Amino acid sequence: MTALILQHGESGPPGVLGDWAAARGIELEIHHAQSGAPLPALNGRDFIASLGSPHNPADVHIPEVAAELSYVAQAIARDIPVLGLCFGGQMLAKALGGEIEKAPQPELGWHTVDSLAPEVVPPGPWLQWHYDRFTVPPRAELLATSAAGPQAFIHGRHLGVQFHPESTIEIVRSWARSDQDRVRALGIGDGEALLERGRRHATAARSAAFDLFDAFWRRTRA
């Protein structure tokens, strides 16, 4: 069993998704999409996971973004399951005909997610770090929401979420440091403090992430 991970920078590793895959005996191949190297062949993939990114799927003037959008569309056409996480969820939504738009307010740190299907998407709090959002694509089923909009959808064997089940406080801390001027300009305060404020949620979030990935995996095997 082999899955392909599309990683967008050293600061966005598979994290908890990697731990889950190791526990389930799933081999991961990591492709560093930001490098601009040709994307691997789609053949033989049990699923593809697209992780977070500083870019937006609408940034098709960036060659690697345009290439990934086409790649995800090809995977969908071949019914290779796609798991989209934050940017990856936006990428999946865009490839399925949804839209990417500025969120009414950024979601940074720990945020409550209201699940319409807790057996697939456990309710939050979940770690978040995004300024944009997706619309639910045509013929997709909305699975979860927050005050900022849609948080998860399913389309066939594909699952997209706006939050970061794969990330830990330690991973997101580097994003908070990179974005500190932007966060302060928004009047939100200290991004690292937002993360630490929710540390009590970290153990439950890791367990919930395993449940979410298991639900996706079962659907890919059905």
Active-site option among 8, 86, 107, 130? 86
Nearest Cα neighbor of 52 from 209, 160, 146 is 160
Active-site option among 64, 107, 166, 192? 166
What burial letters (b/e) apply to 68-104, b meaning 16+ CB within 10 Å? bbebbbebbeeebbbbbbbbbbbbbbbbbebebeebe
CA distance 155 to 116: 15
Is the N-terminal amide bond of 125 cis, ω within 30° of 0? yes
Is residue 192 among the annotated active site residues?
A: no
Is residue 166 among the annotated active site residues?
A: yes
Is residue 55 among the annotated active site residues?
A: no
Catalytic residues: 86, 164, 166
